[in-house]
Copies of this chain bind each other. A is one copy, B any other.
Amino acid sequence: MTPPSDNTAGTEVRRALGRDDVLAYAQLTDDFNPIHVDEAFAAESPFGHTIVHGTLTLTLVWELLAALRPPQGAHGSRVTVRFTAPVAVGETVTATLEEAAAADGPMHIVVRRADGATALTAAVRQP
């Protein structure tokens, strides 16, 4: 019997994306778009609140890849990402490795918000 692998459909990483994370990411990328950092501005926007940089939410995909056994990195990979719904600052998101459609196909990772809505999907092909 093979031991259970951590690299199986259903593997998850979960993380709260708080204001400190958003400010650190804004600093790092020099992206201080007010929709991310200015609560008064964002309250008047169609979103109604500040939202996390989509590319910060995207880091969950690599957190999940790094949590697999063996860990998977970015180098040499091809990744297709679709950003589908905004994430409110302070929200907890969960990245899940979905069931593979085919043994030699890409890995599918879904990052969901606390309410279950899909924030983004990523298809990852390793070299």
**Residues of A in contact with B (beta carbons under 8 Å apart):** 21, 24-25, 27-31, 33, 53-56, 58-59, 62-63, 66, 73-84, 86
A-B contact pairs, 10 of them (CB 8 A): A24-B27, A28-B28, A29-B63, A31-B66, A53-B62, A55-B74, A58-B74, A78-B83, A79-B81, A79-B82
Q: Which residues in B have their C-beta under 8 angstroms from that of A53?
A: 62, 74
Q: Which residues in B have their C-beta under 8 angstroms from that of A75?
A: 54, 83, 86
Q: Which residues in B have their C-beta under 8 angstroms from that of A83?
A: 74-79
This chain: copies in complex:
2
Q: Which residues in B have their C-beta under 8 angstroms from that of A62?
A: 29, 31, 53, 55
